[in-house]
A and B are shown apart, each in its own frame.
Chain A
Amino acid sequence: DADVTQTPRNRITKTGKRIMLECSQTKGHDRMYWYRQDPGLGLRLIYYSFDVKDINKGEISDGYSVSRQAQAKFSLSLESAIPNQTALYFCATSDFGQGEAGELFFGEGSRLTVL
């Protein structure tokens, strides 16, 4: 089983719908992140959380919200999806101070299409 699991892997939805992307991890890491990948723009940070009670905005948080339900779970919500939120979304974890400092461990991605 993957250490960082994202669901759903693919989702097609319509403009205005509420969407939730879920992430769970078995790595025991405190830090969790949501990134968005777009062609030609790389990976951009949406939100991050350094522990269960900590939520921080990233570069592109507008139109998104997150919830850290437990150390192992971090969900991303689009309250009212719009077409320019069509992208590949990645959840990642890291364990500050362990191993290669700052290494991110990514899930396999959730491809979201907003029509």
Chain B
Amino acid sequence: QQQVKQSPQSLIVQKGGISIINCAYENTAFDYFPWYQQFPGKGPALLIAIRPDVSEKKEGRFTISFNKSAKQFSLHIMDSQPGDSATYFCAASGMDDYKLSFGAGTTVTVRA
């Protein structure tokens, strides 16, 4: 049973549009929430991460929104570009050991 539920499984967005990926978790011991980006033929790489003491973190066109009470967090990709086409994984772990539990992944396709 996956500890982090991710949706949608895939999405297609036009260049310049906004991509939104949602994740939910149940384990209240989780306190580190990263997003990983994976291009075809490559391993995942850390994109952005957040801790529950803030509700939002922005890095360039990528923003994580975090709702602690709802146990949900999301990734927004603003002004999506064809180079953003990739699979995105949300993940979560506790502070002590950083054993990440990953969501199922979302394949994002940005059409030019």
Question: For chain B, which range describes its interface: under 10, 10 to 19, 20 to 34, or 35 or more residues?
Answer: 20 to 34
> Closest B-chain residue to A48, C-beta based?
B99
A81 interfacial by beta-carbon distance below 8 Å: no
- Which residues of B have CB within 8 Å of A100? 34, 46, 49
Q: Which of A14-22, A72-80, A88-96 contacts B (4 or more CB under 8 A)?
A: A88-96
B25 to chain A, nearest CB (A): 13
A12 part of interface (Cβ distance < 8 Å): no
Q: Contacts A92-B43, A106-B43, A109-B43 known; A101 to B104 CB distance under 8 Å?
A: no
Known: A42-B89, A100-B49, A102-B32. A108 touches B42 (CB 8 A): yes
A107 and B43 contacting across the interface, CB-CB below 8 Å: yes
Q: Are A42 and B46 in contact (CB under 8 A)?
A: no
- Please, which residues of chain B bring their CB within 8 A of the CB of A92? 43
User: In the complex, which of the residues B34, B36, B93, B102 has the most CB atoms of chain A within 10 Å of its own CB atom?
Assistant: B102
Does A115 sit within 8 A of B, measured CB to CB? no
State whether the Cβ of A4 lies closer than 8 Å to any Cβ in chain B.
yes
A102 x B43 contact (CB < 8 A): no
The interface bits of chain A over 1-19 (1 if a CB of B lies within 8 angstroms of the residue's CB, else 0) are 0001000000000000000
Which chain B positions have C-beta within 8 A of A94?
98
Q: Nearest chain B CB to A70's CB is how many angstroms away? A: 21
Chain A residues with CB under 8 A of B49: 100, 102-103
> Could you write out 19 A-B pairs with CB less than 8 Å apart?
A4-B43, A40-B104, A41-B104, A42-B6, A42-B104, A43-B44, A48-B99, A58-B99, A90-B44, A100-B49, A101-B32, A102-B32, A103-B46, A103-B49, A104-B44, A104-B100, A106-B44, A107-B43, A108-B43
Q: Which residues of A contact B (CB under 8 A)?
A: 4, 31, 35, 40-45, 48, 58, 90, 92, 94, 96, 100-109
Interface residues of B (CB under 8 A from A): 2, 6, 9, 32, 34, 36, 41-46, 49, 89, 93, 98-105
**CB-CB nearest 8 A-B residue pairs:** A106-B43, A102-B98, A43-B102, A42-B102, A42-B104, A103-B46, A42-B105, A106-B44
